Structure 1
Amino acid sequence: MTEKTINEVERMVVIRVFDAPRELVWKAWTDPKYVMQWWGPKGFTAPVCEMDFRVGGKFLCCMKSPDGQEFWNATDYHEIVPYEKIVSSMYFSDSKGNKIDPAELGIEHEAIEGAYDVTLFEDLGTGQTRLTFIGNEPMESAKDSGQLEGWNQILDKLAAVVAGLVESK
């Protein structure tokens, strides 16, 4: 895993606008029963998701590939501004949430030293919400490794969950 400093590189940024109020997008992002429906790229499932959603808390989720391989992700929460912003550090882990080197899973991941993931929720005032995810990896690396495509697929799945919440409201 190569590390670069924040000022040396353009970070991965993924933006999506949802036809839903910010509260519903927030709910879909922060409630494990909904996260299990969208976590992971197309074809992946999330059979396990545990969240202690508070500053100092932890997220632990299993992503299962179509061929049955499990990938665990953990996240430490550093800052939470309800309905506006989440600052966290996400990493590959074992099933207990202990950090592991992505190379152990055959995954290339280039982290930016000192960078956290930032998720922003912006009420557009039109019944729509803009979600901006700023990752802790360089944009070029995210494109080359497929992470950017994966995050776009994840947000496609999130959009379907949010649409279901809007319909049931």
Structure 2
Amino acid sequence: MKVETSELTIDRFIKAPPSVIWKAWSMPEHLARWWIPAPMECKVVKLDLRPGGGFETLMREGDGDFQPHVEGCFVEVVPETRLAFTTVLKEGWQPTEPWLALTAIMTFEAEGAGTRYSARALHRTPEDSRKHEEMGFQEGWGATLDQLAALVERLT
């Protein structure tokens, strides 16, 4: 019997310290290089790393126009340790109706010569979680983690 859950998780060991992973998360020019699976292109519109601060990215495939990707609000920001945002709020705690409601919690835990990067995606219902999983959660978030690892290993 499969247990229904509203949470999806993924984690990786990355060969870089939490401070370098934080740099990749906190600088728009770095975030744009790994946040969306290649070959799609990412444009960072907002990255206000404080509770209530806005988080917005756009994506583009090929020569097309940039389209909405994520718009949310940071709910917790602990530099080099933990970062959480939600898509059910936008900048300034303003409620919104996203195409996919979730809260994402990322933790960066020093482990040996690197970092254990863990991400949790919390959904309103098990059905929403299953929909996100069927959309390719593991593949998509996994690809971005691979891109993050490649970027931060070059930054160290």
Give the TM-score of the pair, scaled to structure 1: 0.74
Aligned equivalent of 1:128, options 110, 114, 118: 114
Q: 1:101 to 1:49 in 2, by over 3 A?
A: closer
Partner SS state of residue 116, structure 1: strand
Q: Where does residue 62 of structure 2 map in the other structure?
A: 66
Identity of aligned residues (%): 28
Aligned mates of 1:82, 1:76 — CA distance in 2: 16
C-alpha contact (below 8 Å) 1:143/1:149 kept by paired residues: no
Q: Where does residue 31 of structure 1 map in the other structure?
A: 27
Q: Where does residue 4 of structure 1 map in the other structure?
A: none
Q: Where does residue 18 of structure 2 map in the other structure?
A: 22
C-alpha contact (below 8 Å) 2:18/2:114 kept by paired residues: yes
Please state how far the C-alpha of 1:116 moved relative to its aligned partner: 2.4
List structure 1 segments (4+ residues) > 6 angstroms apart after TM superposition. Answer: none
**Letter matched to residue 121 of structure 2:** G
What residue ranges of structure 2 are gaps of 5+ in the alignment?
none
Q: Where does residue 141 of structure 1 map in the other structure?
A: 131
Matched, 1:76 2:73: yes
Aligned mates of 1:65, 1:98 — CA distance in 2: 29
**Letter matched to residue 79 of structure 1:** E
Aligned equivalent of 2:104, options 87, 108, 117: 117
Q: Where does residue 89 of structure 1 map in the other structure?
A: 86
TM alignment of 1:148-163, pairs within 5 A: 148-163=138-153
**Greater shift in the superposed pair: 146-155 or 130-139:** 130-139
Count of matched residue pairs: 145
Give the TM-score of the pair, scaled to structure 2: 0.80
Aligned mates of 1:35, 1:68 — CA distance in 2: 21
Q: Where does residue 53 of structure 1 map in the other structure?
A: 49
C-alpha contact (below 8 Å) 1:20/1:162 kept by paired residues: yes
Partner SS state of residue 37, structure 1: helix
